Every structure is written in C-alpha cells, then in structure tokens.
Structure 1
Amino acid sequence: MLSTLRIRHIGVIDDATLAFGPGFTALTGETGAGKTMIVTGLGMLLGERLDRGRAGESATVDGSLALTGHEELADALDELGAEEDEGEVLVVRRVTRDGRSRAQIGGVPVPIGTLSRLVGTAVTVHGQSDQQRLRDADAQREALDRSARAEIEPLREHHRELWTERRTLRERLAEIDALLAEGERRGRVMQEALDRLEAVDPQQDEDTELRRELDRLGSAEELRGAAATAADALVGDDAPSAAALVDIAAQAAERARRTDATLAPLTERLEALRLEISDLAAELSRYAEGIDASPGRSDAANERLAELTALVRDLGALLPGPDGPAEDVTTLLTASRGAAVDLDRYARARGEREEAAARLETLEGELEQAAADLTAARTGAAEALAAAVQTELRHLEMPDAGIRVDVTAQAQRWHGKDLVEILLAPHPGAAHRPVAQAASGGELSRVMLALEAALAASRRDRSAAPVFVFDEIDAGIGGRAALAVGQRLAQLARHAQVIVVTHLPQVAAHAGTHLRIVKSRDEQRTSSTVETLEGAGRVRELARMLAGDEDSDVALAHAEELLEEARRAPGRGSG
C-alpha cells in the first residue's frame, strides 16, 4: 500500500502531500489544476523519465510504501540494506532541471532500473501507456500466469530450471568441443614430446651441473695442484707444516697443564685443531685424487650436455612454459608436467562430452514435456481468465463485448513456447482482434479495469495487495458506464489499493478517500496544492464536477444522491 506521496516542484505543484486511503482514493480537480502531475510523480517512483519542462530546479517525489504482505519486496529491500520505519519504506526520486536523476529506497541509493524493478512489484500505473502494454505479448502472458499463479508458477519455474540447465550444458559442450579440437591439434605432438622426454630422462638442473663439471674438467691439473699444495701445507714433510706446528703447541700446553690445570680447555682445543687439520688434509687429497681428467669423462659429459641442449631446443617450443619456450632442462621439466595435465584433461573431456551429450538428449525430452505441461495449464487458465474478464465487462456496461485469451505456439523461450494474446470482439458478429486494436479509448480503459479486477479476484494472498493507479480510466465514457466503472473500481479496492485520477463524479463518489487538487493564481504564477475532502466539502466538489457550479442546489442534491447510491452499492471500497 502507498500511504503517502509528497511532490515538490513538478509542473504547477510546488509542494503537496497526498495521504491515500487503503482502498479506493479518487483525485479530482479543475482542468489544469495538476492532476496529471500526480500521476507523473507516481510514475517517477517507478523509474519513468520526467519531462524537463515540468521540473523545477530539483523535482522531488517521496513515497511511503507499506510492505505488509509483500514478502518478495521486503526480502529484496532487506538484502539491499534499506531501512524500514514501522513496516514502511521511504522511496525518494529526485530529478534536476538538467536531467540528472537520483533515487533512494530506505536511505540506500539505487540505480533507476532497480527502483523500477522493486517498486514495480507493488505499484502499477494504468494510463495512456496501456495501449502499448497491451501490444506486449510478454505482458499478456504475465497477466495470464498471474491469474493461475498457484498452478502455473511451479510449472514455469521447473521449465526455467531445465532451460537454464540446457543453456549451461550447451555452453559446456561448446567448451569441451573447443578443448577436444585443441587436443586434436596439440595432443599427438605433446605426447611425442613427452615420450622423447621420457626416453632421454633428464634430471632437475642436470644441464647446469654438466656445465659446471666440464668447467672443472677443463681446469683439472690446476685444481689438482692447488689441492695437493694445500694438503702439503697442512701435513707435508718437506717444510714445517701446520700439523707439525700445532703438535709443538699442543705438547707445550700439555706440559704446562700439568702444573696449571686451568690450561685444560686450551689443550683440548689444540687437540681438536690437530684432528681438524688432519681431516682437512685428507679431504683435500681425496678431492685431488677424485678429479677425473681422462678424455673419456670429458667426452661423455659433452655428449650428454649436447643431448640435453638438443632436447631443450627441439621441445622448448612444443612444451612452452608460462614465460615462453623453455630455455633449460628445469623449465622444460616444469612445462612437461603442465603438458601431462593437459593430455589428461583432453582424455577426461572425451568422457565428459559423452555424459553431457547423453544428458542433453534426455534434457530435450524433459524440456519438451515441461513446455507441454505449461501449455496445458495456460490453456485451462486462459478459458477461466476470459470468462472472468467477460463477467467484469458485463458489469462495466460492455455486455455485448466478447473476450478471448488465445494460447498459441511460438519459438521456445525460458518461460515456455506459448504466445498469449488477449482478443476482443467489441460487439456481436465482430471478429476477435487484439485488444489494443479492437477497443476504443474508453473501451480500452474498461478492458484494463476488467482484467485487473479479474486478476485481483483470483489472487489468494489478500495481504499482498498491489497498488493500482488509473489515469484517464473514464476517458470517453459517461452515464451508466461511468457508474459501472466506479462500482468496479470499488470492487477492485477490496483486494487492492486503487488510486484514480478522474473527472467523472459517478466514479469519484465511490471512493473511500477523496483528494482534490486545488489551483491558485497570483500575479506571478499558478500553483496547486492538495486537500482531503469530507462531508460538505466533498459534496460541493461532486456538484462542481456535475454542473460546473458547486453552489447549485440541483447539483448539490444530485451529488448527495450520488454519494448515497455509492454507499449502498455492493463492493464499496474501504473508507
């Protein structure tokens, strides 16, 4: 429910606050008073554009929307982080003269598309755009689906799930086919490269170690001589060696220790030094003896390095790493592990494709059955909706009009393969044609009212009452038809909040809440405000609408009579 609406700086309205009733609210006023600006403001809450010519420096609309019963909307706002105040959320839309637009829901800035989507779940504005809406096949299908939501929604959701699964599966099959095509191009080459790599069996950093070894082999004599010289300096006999000098020091310290026991740690360290010198000399000798200066070892190392170099050269481009072709054995081994993973992926993709193709074949049958179930449900719902709308049209002084809701086949989409058309035969013998083409202006408005009334009557959740705004609902009608429209609007207000901009007293008399747009003039400009009418004030406004003279005794009497008839009429809206 829309409880209040505040409009600032739109057209002739500087600042006006409207308090709507829970049932049927009528908006009346003289021509040019600004009734259209009210509908414009409501449209702004739904994300509609504002004509710059109607905007002041900053045109603003604030609307308080009650969330009772609108669980889907409440959940969306909760996820958005919007603030509530006693079960209501404040919706704000501001448009500057230069066209910049801002929107907030519950204090949270939102894009205009989000504003339209969220508020649009609760508020529907009917007006001059209805003809376009009735040309929209999707809108007509949605109307039919709403008329039998309990039966159709589970079927549609099941169809949507299957449709989504099929789309995902098709996308995955395309990915697998691309992967298999890549495998066809690269798989054989990669496998041959891996086979050659396995035959050569290079080890991590082997080429680097071979180069180091060849450097050593090239300097073998020099290295051997240096090691031998170092060993002789430690333990050699030709000159005083480090070992001999340490022995002299150790013996002297041992003799002194016998007199002074505090030298014991030093004698132990000298003993350890003597052992370390002996070990070092032994290792140097082993190093010198271990240097293989034979031509055979050098040749073998060169041959192995040449083999590895050729391997890296030949396979580097076939098994590239993340930074390009491999330049050494280690990078090549790393790339080979990635190639092995790719080969395994290609192999698994073949099996996955078989499974996906089998599931897709099954899914096609399931989707076809789900679409058929939807068509059957919609066909049954179409008959019921047509009958309900037909009944409403009889109440709206269109007893000879014939309504048909056709469900025909079209290309399958996420919601099924049904094209829904609401067709109207305005009088007996006339062919059924699309409503937007077959109905006159007044008839079109009554068809929309009949459709909304039928849909509201079919809604089982009475707490989730939508808000319907009707502009020009009474265009082109009068007399009995006007009274009938007023009665059906009051009937609709049992199940929804109804806000109507009207110039017909027969319609306004049935409202539970009556708001008047009041125009005032001064030397500078014309402006409008809004007042709530009750009692005598309401009678005077109805008299003005009847006769153009709110002081006419005849018109006042007629207005009283209209109000009394409206009070006695079945289906009177709350208020």
Structure 2
Amino acid sequence: MLQNLNITDLAIVESLDLNLEKGLSVLTGETGAGKSILLTALGLALGERADAGYVRPGSQRAEITLSFDLSDAPNAQAWLEENELDADKQCLIRRTIRQDGRSKAYINGSPTTLQALKLLSSQLVEIHGQHAHLTLLESDEQRELLDNYAQNTSLLADTNQAYLQWRANFHELEALIKSSTDQSNQEDLLRYQLNELEQLDLVNYDYAALSAEHTKLANLEQILNVGQIQLNLLSENEQQSANHLVNQSISALTGLTSLASEFDEPNKLLIEAQIQINEATQQLRRFLESQEIEPQRMQELDNQISIIQNLSRKHHVSPDELPQVAEKLNQDLENLSHSTERIDELNSLVQQNQQQYFSLAKTLSQKRIKSAKKLSTLISSMIQELGMPQGEFSINVTPQTIEQPKINGTDKIEFLVSANKGLPLRPLAKVASGGELSRISLAIQVTTSHDKNAATMIFDEVDSGIGGGIAEIVGQKLRTLGNRAQVLCVTHLPQVAAQAHQHLFVYKSNDTAMTTSQVRTLTTEQRIEEMARMLGGVNITKSTLTHAKEMLMTGQTNL
C-alpha cells in the first residue's frame, strides 16, 4: 500500500507530506483547490511524461516521492527482487523534474528508466481517471477485464506465443514462395553463367601463366632472331665470339703467370667467365632449338584469353577472380535448391503452429465463456444495487471462424447491457448514459477487485452523475473495496465521503505571495463541517450540520 506522498515545488504545491492509511481515503475540497494536482503528482511519480510546466514558478525543480509497503504487493516485491532493487519489502519511488523539462526517476535510490518504472507501477497502483469508464467501450479493455477475472494470464500468453511462432514462420514461408516464383528462371541463369566459367578448366586455371605463354608466342619470331644473334656473338662466330676472345686472353695470361704472379688471379676469373659463357651458350642453344612457331596454339590462346576478358567484364571482376565468381554461383545455386527444402519444412511448421494455436484458442474460449456467465451475473447484481434495479449486464463471447491465427485468441468479446425491463441487451456504447457508465464501471471494479495485482486503487470522481441514495450505495461499495485494498477517491459527494476510513481535505492557502495548495487530515468534527459544506448552501445551518453528522455516523457503522 501507499504509505506516504511527498511533493515539493510541483505546480501550486510548494511542500506537502501526506501519510495515507489502509482502507478508503477520500479527498474533498472546493473546485480548483488542487485535488487534481495530487493525482497528477501520483501519475508523474509512476512514470507519466513530464514537462517544465509542472515546476512551480521560481523553483529549480519539482520532486515527488512515494513510499510503499509491499507486504500486500507480492508481484511488485518479486519484480524488485528480479531486478535487484528490493529493500526489505519497502519501495521508495522518486521523480524529479527540472526547469528545462528533463526528469529523472529512482527506485529505492537507484536510477531507472520510465519504462521500468511503469512496469513496477502497474504492480503497485491502478488509477481510474474521471473518464476511465469510457475505456469500457473499447473491445481490448473488455477482453482484458474478462481475462483477468478468468485468470487467463498464462493461457493467453501461451496462445499469443503460438500466434507469434505461426506469424514468424508464415511470413518467412510467404517470402520464400514469392521469391521461388522466379526461381526457375534464376536457376537457369545461374547454370548458364556457371557453364560459361567451367569451360575455363577452373581446376587448373592460372591466368598469369596463360598470359605469359600468350605474350611469348606472340613475340616468338623476335625472340628467336635476337637469341640466334646472341648465340653467334657468344660462341658460333669462331673469330669474333666472346668465347674465342676470352680463350685467347686465357692462353696469353697463362704464359705470363710464371713471369708475374699478379696475372694468376685475373686468369682464374677469365677461366670462370669462360665456363659461364659456355653454360649460357648451351642453355640458349637448347632453348632456341626447342622453340617452334605454333599458329594453332596461338589461336587457342587468343580465343581463351578473349573469353576470360569478356567474362571478367561481364562479372565486373579481374581475370584472377573468376574462380571465386564460379564458387559463389555454385553456392547461390545450392541455396536455391535448399529454399525448396525450407519451403517444405516451413509448410509443416506452419501447420503445426496452427494446430497448436487453435487448440489453445479453443481452451481459452471455453474458459472465457464459463467465466463470462459468472461475471455477468455478479455485475448485473451489482448494477441493480447501484440504482439500476431493472438493469441486466451480459458479456457475450463469440468464437470467430478464422482461417489464420490472430493475437489474443479467436473470440469477439462484447459487453452488453439493458438498463430497463423489457429492453433487449445492446452494446454498452449504444445504451448507457454517462451516469450509468460510471455505475457500471464501479460495479466492474468492485466485482473484479479480487483479480487486481495492484494493492492501491485510485478513483478520480467515479461518482460523477450520481446523487441521493445511489451515492450512498456507491460509497458503501467503495468502502467494501477498501476493506480488500487501499482505495483513494476524489469525490464531491458527502454520501461517499461519509463512508471513508480517512478524510483528506484539499485547500488553497494565500498566506504567502504565491497561492499554494495544501492537504490536511480531518478530525471527526472537521469531517462533519466539510460534509455540511458539501451538502450545499452558502450558509451552513444547524440542520445541515445535524444531517452531516447523522450521515457520517451511519457511514462509520460499517467499520
């Protein structure tokens, strides 16, 4: 439950420290006194978006702090433990808002995000604003109310998980089928391109070697002519060849080494040179003798290199990269064949997902139909007590025939009501007036209060459009609800205020230069005076005070 609300510099609230009790607490006060700003503060602390307009003029920042006792909020305690934020069954939420509109949030002293704060808040507090009853007209809200009452949380989660698995597999299957429409043409193209590359003998493919061979054959005539000339100069010309001249030098120097030893080393070098010349001559002669102009081979190389260059341009790669292109084409071709296998696999998975989904959805429908009957009876009884004696409420659950799974099951869920005897049940939005909607909303909240996770429920003028004896019954129902959970209610009705366990009075103070909004807990005498004011009239008479006192005494007999 919410133990304490502390506000600093928020709008017209300069400083407020409010302790709250169990049971039903009402907030009353003149219009414009600041009751709404208290609910705004709660909303901000629980994760609603903030802006600079909330900061009190002249202040640097606004701050709201909520203190909770988690003894009656096991889900919130579990969430804190899971997120390593627990603090001995206590929870302190703090929200600050700066002048520039930026804000920070803390849970038990640790910084947190608004998303995390909202997740925790949903386990702590449930707020019903002035127009909360209008959400009853929304189909999702009606479904959620029924599922909460039927305790369908786990079953609904399993059903939606089956739907999500079906959707993921179905979308993948659709994409593959769409792409497979052109698969045959694509496969033919890949095979054609691969065949083009395979004519290059990719296993032994060496473009550098082919290019070198082509260059040599293209210039073979020049190679042979130059080679033969050099062979003649080295050895073939007996009188002027390099070998003959070196040989002459060796003979001359050999005869002089006995006369001058300095000739010995140059002579040895010439002998080595002669050996190198002879070896070079032999290699050159062998090469020239082995070469032969081959027009046919040259034509083959011309054709092959032309093909390679054309394919390189076609695939936008260098000739050396063509083997990698062939490898990728092979992989793409293999993937196409695998996509057929995947389509078969996905068809099977989609059928399995559908069977699982429709089985779960059928069980969900059965539980909803069974719970709808019970809840309809309970709410009908409650709205009859709330001033609609001939009223009848019904929850219509109609399983829809659908071919494909959808989120939240196959049911169409609709709240129906008949406000008067003899009139047929019709959709809530087409029948109920504003006051009737308020009473129906309250009836639903009271009836389903056992199914709420939040230990604190806040109602902002849910009694609008109600008066007289019905207002007293509404107060009694809120008090009954307060016996099971902490209830805070903003009200203008003395009949409701009389039922409260705690009465909080909101008022404006003009003691300072700037108007401030303050709250105080009323004593019994103060409650009588406030209820007399609420009963009406500018001048409060003894009769009005007596009426207020009797009303309070009657309300408190329910303690």
TM-score (norm 2): 0.79
Question: Aligned residue for 1:467?
Answer: 456
Question: Aligned residue for 1:261?
Answer: none
SS in 1 for 2:97: strand
Match of residue 534, structure 2, among 532, 545, 555:
545
Question: Aligned residue for 2:390?
Answer: 400
Match of residue 140, structure 1, among 142, 147, 152:
142
Question: Gaps spanning 5+ residues in structure 1: where?
Answer: 249-270
Mapped pair 1:333 → 2:323:
yes
Q: CA deviation at 1:381?
A: 1.2
Residues 291-321 of structure 1 deviation map (CA, whole Å, 9 limit, x = unaligned): 653112x75255235324314514753xx3x
Q: CA deviation at 1:470?
A: 0.9
Match of residue 430, structure 1, among 423, 432, 437:
423
The answer to whether the Cα contact below 8 Å between 1:67 and 1:73 also exists between their aligned partners in 2 is no
Q: CA deviation at 1:79?
A: 7.8
SS in 2 for 1:416: coil
Question: Aligned residue for 1:104?
Answer: 105
Q: CA deviation at 1:388?
A: 2.1
Paired-residue identity, %:
26
State how 1:228-267 maps to structure 2 within 5 Å. Answer: 238=244
Match of residue 443, structure 1, among 436, 460, 478:
436
State how 1:58-457 maps to structure 2 within 5 Å. Answer: 60=62, 62-64=64-66, 66=68, 68=70, 87-92=90-95, 94=97, 100=101, 102=103, 104-106=105-107, 108=111, 110=113, 119-120=121-122, 122-149=124-151, 152-202=152-202, 206-217=206-217, 218=219, 220-221=223-224, 238=244, 285-286=282-283, 289-290=286-287, 292-296=290-294, 299-300=296-297, 303-314=300-311, 317=314, 320=315, 325-328=316-319, 330-409=320-399, 413-457=406-450
Question: Gaps spanning 5+ residues in structure 2: where?
Answer: 236-241, 255-267
Amino acid at match of 1:313: N
Cα gap change, 1:367 to 1:213, in 2 (>3 Å): same
CA distance in 1, matches of 2:233, 2:549: 130
Q: CA deviation at 1:455?
A: 1.4
Q: CA deviation at 1:342?
A: 0.6
Q: CA deviation at 1:220?
A: 3.3
The answer to whether the Cα contact below 8 Å between 1:316 and 1:332 also exists between their aligned partners in 2 is no
SS in 2 for 1:470: strand
The answer to whether the Cα contact below 8 Å between 1:519 and 1:529 also exists between their aligned partners in 2 is yes
Cα gap change, 1:393 to 1:212, in 2 (>3 Å): same
Amino acid at match of 1:13: V
Amino acid at match of 2:383: L
CA distance in 1, matches of 2:90, 2:231: 96
Cα gap change, 1:184 to 1:11, in 2 (>3 Å): same
Q: CA deviation at 1:338?
A: 0.7
CA distance in 2, matches of 1:224, 1:294: 13
Cα gap change, 1:193 to 1:538, in 2 (>3 Å): same
Mapped pair 1:486 → 2:475:
yes
Cα gap change, 1:71 to 1:85, in 2 (>3 Å): closer
Output the aligned Cα RMSD: 4.4
Query: Which range moved further: 341-350 or 300-309?
Result: 300-309
State how 1:49-60 maps to structure 2 within 5 Å. Answer: 56-57=56-57, 60=62
Q: CA deviation at 1:90?
A: 1.4
Query: Which range moved further: 450-459 or 134-143?
Result: 450-459
SS in 2 for 1:38: helix
CA distance in 2, matches of 1:105, 1:280: 93
Match of residue 506, structure 1, among 495, 502, 511:
495
Cα gap change, 1:82 to 1:519, in 2 (>3 Å): same
The answer to whether the Cα contact below 8 Å between 2:130 and 2:462 also exists between their aligned partners in 1 is no
The answer to whether the Cα contact below 8 Å between 2:51 and 2:102 also exists between their aligned partners in 1 is no
The answer to whether the Cα contact below 8 Å between 1:125 and 1:469 also exists between their aligned partners in 2 is yes
Cα gap change, 1:206 to 1:21, in 2 (>3 Å): same
Q: CA deviation at 1:84?
A: 6.3
TM-score (norm 1): 0.77
Cα gap change, 1:425 to 1:110, in 2 (>3 Å): same
Q: CA deviation at 1:383?
A: 0.8
Residues 234-253 of structure 1 deviation map (CA, whole Å, 9 limit, x = unaligned): xx964659xx99xx9xxxxx
Q: CA deviation at 1:359?
A: 2.9
CA distance in 1, matches of 2:243, 2:444: 121
Q: CA deviation at 1:416?
A: 1.2
The answer to whether the Cα contact below 8 Å between 1:9 and 1:56 also exists between their aligned partners in 2 is yes
